[in-house]
Amino acid sequence: MLRKIAVALVIVALVAPSTAVVAQEKKWELSGNVGYKFGGGFETRRLDEDLKGSFQAGVNYGASIGYNFNPQFMLEAAWNRQDSALDVQPLSGGNKTEAFGLNIDQYHGNFIWHAYNRNPNFKPYFLLGLGATTFSPKGVDIDSETKFSFALGGGMKYATSDSFGLKLQGRWTPTYINSSPGGIWCDPFFPFYCYQLSSAHYASQFDVTAGVVFKF
C-alpha cells in the first residue's frame, strides 16, 4: 500500500510542473501604441475641377487585442486614429489649401505571423490587415465616409517579463477613395461585347508606432 502511494506521489510530482506551465501560458495580448502617420495623396474631382487631395501628417494612436493560436500565428483586432486635415490642390497647378479638418479612424483585423528567433524575448513579426477606414470631417456640414482599406507591415516585440513587453511597428495602409473611368475592353472572341473599365484611386499612408503589450 505504501509503495503504491509513493509511486502515485512521484507521478503527481512529475506531472504537476508541466500542468502548471500550461496553465500559466498566456494567449491574449492587449496593446496600446502611439506614433506618426504621413502620406495619403490621391486624385479626386470637385464640381468641374480635377484636384489632388492629401492628408496632413500627424500623430496617430490606437489599441489592439490579439489571440495567439500558437507561437507563430496570432489574430488581432486593431483600432487606430489620426487627427488630420484634408489639403486640396488643382492638378493644373496652384497653391495647396486646407479644405477641412478630419479624424481618420481605421478598424482592421490583422493576421500576424511571428518569425522564428533564437532569443525568445525578441519576436520579429509580419502583418497583413483587412478592414475599413472612416473619414469624419470636423467643422463642416459633410457626412462621414467609410472606405475599404488594408495594411501590410511588420515590427518587433520585446518581452520584459511573462506579462509585459514593448512593441515597435511600421505599416503601409492604402485606403480606397474613388474610381474614375478607364479604357474600353472588348472580348477577343466576341468583339461586340465591350466593357467600360474603371481606375481605382487609393490614398496610401505610412505610420511608425511604438507601444506596450500586456499578456494575459
Block mean pLDDT (10 aa), the chain, length 216: 47 45 74 96 70 93 97 97 94 86 97 92 97 96 96 97 97 90 65 67 95 97
CA distance 169 to 158: 12
Instruction: Tell me how crowded residue 216 is: count the other CB atoms within 10 A of its CB.
Output: 9
pLDDT at 9: 41
Beta strands in the chain (DSSP E): 28-39, 42-46, 49-55, 58-68, 73-90, 97-114, 122-138, 145-159, 164-186, 194-215
pLDDT at 182: 62
Alpha helix segments (H runs only) across the chain = 2-24
* Domains along the sequence of the chain with CATH: 26-215 (2.40.160.20)
pLDDT at 18: 42
SS3 of residue 91 by DSSP: coil
pLDDT at 23: 47
Provide φ and ψ at 77, rounded to 5°: -105, 125
